Chains A and B, each alone.
Chain A
Amino acid sequence: MNEPCKQVEEALDQAADGGLPGDLAAHAAACDLCRERVAIDRAIREGLRAVAGPGAATHRALAAQILSAPAPAAHAQPRVIRLSWASAAAVAAAVAAVLIALVAVKPQPREPIRPTALFADLLGPLPEMAKSGKPADAQETGAAAPLASVLALFSNGWEGPIALGRAALEAPLATGLVGEPKPAGTDSPSRDQERSRGQ
């Protein structure tokens, strides 16, 4: 591509209306390549406009189809929810009820769980024993009496069991929780004795 041809191309790129300066227009008229280039540029600017209309029949058919569609005016209104005063009052009452319910079920501070309460929940009919902290009468509680004693230990939280444990460590024989020495002969037979019996 020689220099004037390049200039024509650049001028066509720049020109809003496709016009060329005089000297380049003269060159384009004499140059096959540039003449074709200018013709294509003009075809882009002007030729693309050419379009056949729909024709009377197509126009009528299209218009009839478009206008036969249901009028959308009814559902084209702005989609704003409008409430009557009664509906608004009902909504307000419902909102208030929900707020009150939320306040009512607000979680309260929880008391620490006492061990006695745990045992009472697990074992059922022993609330009085747990509360009093006293051993229940064996006549009234029957088989539950040992449990009542255990529960009584926990009536003041863990203090009872801790005190009991401490006492056991300090005076093991006095608590009865550690076995006392048995009188001679009451113990289980020794291996030697069993061996001699077997013989």
Chain B
Amino acid sequence: MGDGVAWETVKRAAGGEPAARRELVEATLDNVWALAMRMTRSRDTAGDVVQETYARAFENLADLEPNGRFEGYLARIATNLVLERWRRQRPTLSTADLTASDEADEPWLALAHEEEDRRRLSAIWAVVGRLEPRVRAAMLLHYAQGEPYESIGRILNVPVGTLKTWLYRARGEVRRGAEALLRRQAALGRTPTGDAP
């Protein structure tokens, strides 16, 4: 995220000034989108999360204390919205899901130039999808979104020490899971998304 939105702008938006609200949205929309997209892996769902994030953010703007970053406030709302969705859905992906992702549009795979990179990323995302929701959120906020520990701790309401433990364990789990998945798929002669090579 950038250097941040000025609290003066937030204050003006809280007062109902349309120009200030537009300024807030323009300055933060792409980051909120990226967070929602990384977490939901679906453009449609990400769009819903983004809209709801701003709706909630503007609802409580007048009560917002001017400390921390406004982007962190948005990230907290977006993350909690995604966590609500994850909890409503099944807790983890089944083994079958690892070979046939239900979140079909995976634009990040197109960003990987090498076939090997795409294969690895696909396996990693499949295993990340099996993590417990809050750990998954922590991992994506840290590794994908680049949020600092303190910010993630505030978003997920966990101490930084606990968060670091989560991340340490989750990274090892994802790495081992992805390794196992890639080995299994290599043995079956299939790609992680279920297509024959």
The 8 Å CB contact of B62, one of A37, A48, A49, A78, is A78
Within 8 A of A (CB), among B125-155: 125, 128, 139-140, 143-146
Contact A62 B111 (CB under 8 A): no
Expressed in whole angstroms, the minimum distance between the Cβ of B46 and any Cβ of chain A is 8
Stretch of B75-83, B86-94, B116-124 at the chain-chain interface: B116-124
Q: Is A13 part of the contact surface with B, judged by Cβ < 8 Å?
A: yes
Asked if A50 meets B62 with Cβ closer than 8 Å, knowing A41-B175, A62-B47, A69-B55, the reply is no
Interface hub of A12, A36, A40, A74 (most chain B Cβ within 10 A): A40
The 8 Å CB contact of B143, one of A12, A48, A73, A76, is A48
Expressed in whole angstroms, the minimum distance between the Cβ of A14 and any Cβ of chain B is 8
Complex interface: chain A residues within 8 A of B50 (CB): 62, 66
Q: Is A177 part of the contact surface with B, judged by Cβ < 8 Å?
A: no
Contact A44 B62 (CB under 8 A): no
Asked if A53 meets B34 with Cβ closer than 8 Å, knowing A40-B124, A62-B29, the reply is yes
Interface size class on chain B is: 35 or more
Complex interface: chain B residues within 8 A of A13 (CB): 168, 171-172
The 8 Å CB contact of B29, one of A12, A37, A63, A77, is A63
Interface hub of A13, A44, A58, A59 (most chain B Cβ within 10 A): A44
Expressed in whole angstroms, the minimum distance between the Cβ of B172 and any Cβ of chain A is 5
Contact A39 B144 (CB under 8 A): no
Contact A47 B61 (CB under 8 A): no
Contact B179 A36 (CB under 8 A): yes
CA distance in complex: A54, B63 (Å): 30
Besides A37-B179, A62-B47, 19 new A-B residue pairs in contact (Cβ under 8 A), listed by A number: A13-B172, A40-B179, A41-B175, A44-B124, A44-B174, A48-B139, A48-B143, A50-B121, A51-B108, A51-B144, A58-B43, A66-B51, A66-B55, A67-B18, A69-B55, A71-B18, A73-B16, A73-B62, A78-B62
30 examples of A-B residue contacts, CB within 8 angstroms? A12-B172, A13-B168, A37-B179, A39-B116, A40-B179, A43-B120, A43-B124, A43-B178, A44-B171, A44-B175, A47-B108, A47-B112, A51-B108, A52-B107, A53-B34, A54-B30, A54-B37, A59-B33, A62-B47, A63-B22, A63-B25, A69-B55, A69-B58, A71-B16, A71-B18, A72-B61, A74-B16, A76-B58, A76-B62, A77-B62
Which 5 pairs show the lowest CB-CB distances between chains A and B? A73-B16, A52-B107, A48-B144, A76-B62, A50-B111
